Amino acid sequence: MKDLGEANIILGVKIRKNKTSLSLCQSHYVEKILKKFDSFDVSPVRTPFDASKHLKKNKGDSVYQPEYAKIIGSMMYLMNYTRPDIAYAVSRLSRYTHNPDRYHWDALRHLLRYLKGTIDYCLYFNKFSAVLEAYCDANWVTDNDEVNSTSGYVFSLGGGAIS
């Protein structure tokens, strides 16, 4: 057995470490997603989801469903590892994976534009804050078109999200 030293990458997550902090990044994966889905040259936006757009269930034919599902899957991988900031948007958009329409695609493109502007976001942990913090919120079904409630939580330790 050979000691290879400290790890730089584990499961596609880049690890940056110094005396006071640790950061986990997937900027290379975000770049790969943007290039794969022809979104690398888009203009960035500041938010992952446009709350003024009210998404509804598509009652017609789906628009490029396999491609939509691929992008959602890529976003879920990213969200679960290092990007909790996109969790709400991915959760909302994934509800329409079976039958997306052009409005769902517009919202998904908006999320890709957000990733373009936040490509270097990382989870950052420092050694000075050993306090466990928890936040939660919920939105119960508020209209007839939505059949799912939304709730979420974040636990942080050392200044970074852990769950």
**Number of other residues whose CB lies within 10 A of the CB of residue 159:** 15
| Alpha carbon distance, N-terminus to C-terminus of the chain | 34
Residue 29 above 80 pLDDT? yes
Summarize pLDDT for 126-149 with one digit per residue, the tens: 876 678 889 998 877 666 566 677
Residue 30 above 70 pLDDT? yes
Range of weakest confidence among 41-45, 78-82, 153-157: 153-157
Residue 74 above 70 pLDDT? yes
Q: Is residue 99 part of a domain?
A: yes
Answer whether 101's CB lies under 8 Å from 58's CB: yes
Q: What is the pLDDT of residue 140?
A: 74
Q: Is residue 80 part of a domain?
A: yes
Q: Is residue 154 part of a domain?
A: no
What is the helix, strand, coil percentage profile of the chain, to 5?
Answer: 35, 20, 45
Band (pLDDT 50/70/90 cuts) for residue 48 is: very high
Q: Is residue 90 part of a domain?
A: yes
Q: Is residue 108 part of a domain?
A: yes
Residue 52 DSSP class: T
Q: Is residue 140 part of a domain?
A: no
Are β-strands 9-10 and 122-126 bridged in parallel, bridged antiparallel, or unpaired? unpaired
Domain that holds residue 105: 9-128
Q: How far apart are CA 48 and CA 108, in angstroms?
A: 9
Residue 84 DSSP class: G
Range of weakest confidence among 12-16, 55-59, 137-141: 137-141
Q: What is the pLDDT of residue 152?
A: 82
What value does the mean pLDDT take over residues 68-92?
A: 95
Domain count, the chain: 1
